[in-house]
Structure 1
Amino acid sequence: MQALDEVTAINSRAFDAAAGDGRNELTGRLPRAVAGLLVAAVLAALGLRPRLAEFR
């Protein structure tokens, strides 16, 4: 039982460290990703506007 507790503790520490590293890696990328999505949405709307005008 003690061995299982030790393995669980080791894995828990490794998971917590990996989750923290992943969160730190994504923190800087999130604003750029949101900005990219907004730019893509605006460009798509501008590109579709002339096509949708043909149906009026």
Structure 2
Amino acid sequence: MPTSTDTPGPVDTRLTSGSLASRAARTGAMTPLGRLGLPSDVAAMVLALTTVPLSPVR
């Protein structure tokens, strides 16, 4: 049975805002998006992974 995973990088949330505030620009610049992720970014990926039929990789 195929499985999917979502492993986001740093995400800007209320929980992480204090710890990431001082280094948000530098950390975000090192990500593929060039910024910190947003909860909506993660939600969109999870939605895509759970609604598209998957086929095994061979």
Do they fold alike, i.e. is TM over 0.5? no
Which protein, 1 or 2, shows the higher relative CO under an 8 Å CA cutoff with sep ≥ 6? Answer: 2
Larger Rg: 1
Q: TM-score, normalised by structure 2?
A: 0.31
Q: TM-score, normalised by structure 1?
A: 0.32
Bigger helix fraction:
1
